[in-house]
Amino acid sequence: MTRPAPPAAGRMTRLIRAELFKAGANRATWILAAIAPVFCVLWAVLIVALAPSSGPLPPESVYNMAQQAYIFTLILGILGMSAEFRHQTIAWSFLVTPRRGAVVTAKLVAYGLIGLAVAVLSALATLAAGASLLAVKGLPVMSPEVLPVLGGGALSTAGYAVLGVALAVLIRNQVAVIVLAALIFMYGDYLLSWLAPGVYPWLPTGAARALGGLRLETGTLLPVWGGALLFAGYVAVIVLIARLITLRRDIT
């Protein structure tokens, strides 16, 4: 008598747990997760230190630095997927779970959760450090914009982890995808906006910054809901392309 197959939801839960276990066993995951909040705190310190003595410093502009963790969650997602191709463990993953789409989906969900955890940790660290610095300087510590800024920044930072997984599916070479992603999301969008003023709000980085509540001194970004929809759209399109390629591409 054959054993009945577990329901699809149960299989997906086990796949996600397996991906989380693999991520936890990777030292790079813990290193990047530890560096991210420190990096954000340093940015917050820099913003307060460089603030002009005349005029108030909006506290949300300090707490927005929690969004700087995006580069670390992006790399986390890239490493989580590209390592499978680099070490050829992807073949074993697809042998154990022949449904490639399910494997990729589990990877996307797992690193989305990891990215969210790193984002929340970075937000809390930035909030604690930023509030202390602002209080020492006698500046306002809270405003109605603080919670939306921290929440939106955490969501966008988690979205970059999902984006990293999808990019690593499209570009299998680990070094190439990390360099390309860093160039695009750290410098490329800004260079393009310099060449074509006014386009930045519609680029992925601009949309993510809008979701995180960033306000520019020059120019304007989309409203938070607009940035959320646009950034989610970018991530969804790249994820869809990655899934389609995974189903058709030879993995050997």
Q: If you average pLDDT over residues 114-133, what whole number do you get?
A: 96
Q: What is the pLDDT of residues 56-101, one digit of tens each?
A: 788 998 999 999 999 999 999 999 988 877 766 665 566 566 566 7
Dist. CA 31–CA 34, nearest whole Å: 5
- What pLDDT, on the 0 to 100 scale, is given for residue 193? 73
Beta carbons of 207 and 117 less than 8 angstroms apart: no
Of the pLDDT bands very low, low, confident and very high (cuts 50, 70, 90), residue 249 is low
Backbone torsion region of residue 15, taken as left when φ is above 0, otherwise alpha when ψ lies between -120 and 50, otherwise beta: alpha
Describe the crossing of helices 27-50 and 100-136 by its angle, rounded to 10 degrees: 30
- pLDDT of 217 > 60? The answer is no
CA 154 to chain centre: 8
- pLDDT of 184 > 60? The answer is yes
The pTM score is 0.88
Q: Which amino acid is at 214?
A: L
- Closest C-alpha to 230, from 198, 213, 206, 194: 206
Q: What is the pLDDT of residues 12-28, one digit of tens each?
A: 888 899 889 999 999 99
Give the largest CA-CA distance in the chain.
Answer: 80
Dist. CA 41–CA 62, nearest whole Å: 9
- What pLDDT, on the 0 to 100 scale, is given for residue 1? 43
Q: What is the pLDDT of residues 136-182, one digit of tens each?
A: 888 889 988 899 999 999 999 999 999 999 999 888 888 999 999 98
- pLDDT of 7 > 50? The answer is yes
Beta carbons of 71 and 159 less than 8 angstroms apart: no
User: Helical H runs in 196-223?
Assistant: 204-211
- What pLDDT, on the 0 to 100 scale, is given for residue 213? 81
User: Helical H runs in the chain?
Assistant: 8-24, 27-50, 59-63, 70-86, 90-96, 100-136, 146-170, 174-182, 189-195, 204-211, 224-248
